[in-house]
Amino acid sequence: MAFVVPNEGEVVWLRRALTPDAGDGDLLHLHLFKNNFTPGFTTVLADFTESDFAGYAVVDVDPANWPTPTSVANRAQSIYQPAPLIFTPSSGSQNAYGYYLTDNSDSVVMLAERFNDAPQLITPTAPALVVLVVQLHSEGE
């Protein structure tokens, strides 16, 4: 399943793309969510129940770690580094249904993706692995 960019995130992405110094800070924040939710175009932050397993921490996504895009199958693509980003509980376990990326103030959902139809059980020996891949292409293709 491909991630969804909610309507509110589209506005911020476009603003950042056109005027990168007009952002609310450089870092974005990567979160996991534990509620059974499928993101869509009207998704907002209140739709998610953030993971809270032992050792959980939001991951900073620094724009300096996006490599120069390359063309792959007629699409511009960039894969955030390091890849994958890893969420590992220090103890116990928890189901996670997916991830979402917020702006620096944690007030706008920039993008979100559900892992699969079933949640991932995250444990100290089976962490959640997230690879952030952004592809751009013409809707007419």
pLDDT 10s digits, 6-61: 877 776 776 676 566 655 567 899 999 999 999 999 999 999 999 999 999 999 99
Q: Is the pTM of this model over 0.95?
A: no
How many domains is the chain partitioned into structurally?
A: 1
pLDDT at 25: 63
Domain contains 1: no
Closest of 112, 98, 81 to residue 9, by C-alpha: 112
Domain contains 141: no
Domain that holds residue 35: 7-136
How many Cβ atoms are within 10 Å of 7's Cβ, its own excluded?
Answer: 13
Domain contains 15: yes
Closest of 111, 105, 115, 124 to residue 34, by C-alpha: 115
Domain contains 73: yes
Beta pairing class for 98-102 and 128-130: unpaired
Domain contains 131: yes
pLDDT exceeds 80 at position 89: yes
